[in-house]
Amino acid sequence: MNQQHRIPDYLPYSLGILWLWSGLQPVLTAPQESLSLLAEVGFQTAFQWPLLLASSLLDIVFGLLCFSRARRLPALWAVQAATVAAYSLIIAFALPQMWLHPFAPLVKNLPILAMLAFLRHEGRLKK
- Whether residue 39 contacts residue 48, with contact meaning beta carbons closer than 8 Å, is answered with yes
What is the structure's pLDDT at 20? Answer: 99
What is the structure's pLDDT at 1? Answer: 44
What is the structure's pLDDT at 4? Answer: 62
- Whether residue 81 contacts residue 116, with contact meaning beta carbons closer than 8 Å, is answered with yes
What is the CB neighbour count within 10 angstroms for residue 125? 11
Average pLDDT of the segment spanning 8-31: 98
Domain boundaries, the chain: 10-125
Residue 91, CB half-sphere, CA atoms under 13 Å: how many?
Answer: 19
- Whether residue 87 contacts residue 94, with contact meaning beta carbons closer than 8 Å, is answered with no
